[in-house]
Amino acid sequence: MSARAHELEADPEWPADVTYDRLIGDVYLYQRRGGHRTGTDDVLTAYYATHRASGPSASYLDLGCGVGSVLLMVAH
């Protein structure tokens, strides 16, 4: 089953330190305040990956992807 994050209801069992943040366009992430969070470095990495390519790519590999935000931005 698949759904966009903004269509999902928050799980009442989630910790109070979870934030609901827009990543890009209509893509949102649930992130813990004290854990690994997507940030400016992820945005710059996605920009570099998409603008340094010699042509359109059919596939991508995101090593050590943390929360996967770079791959989500590149795919968007």
CA distance 28 to 21: 5
Quick: pLDDT tens for 7-28.
666 556 777 888 888 888 888 8
| Dihedral angle computed from the Cα positions of residues 65, 69, 70 and 73, in that order, rounded to the nearest 10 degrees | 150
Quick: pLDDT tens for 26-62.
888 888 888 778 878 877 877 787 787 777 766 767 6
Domain ranges of the chain: 5-75
Give the pLDDT confidence score for residue 9 in this predicted structure.
62
When pLDDT is cut at 50, 70 and 90, the band that residue 1 belongs to is very low
Give the pLDDT confidence score for residue 74 in this predicted structure.
72
CA distance 15 to 17: 5
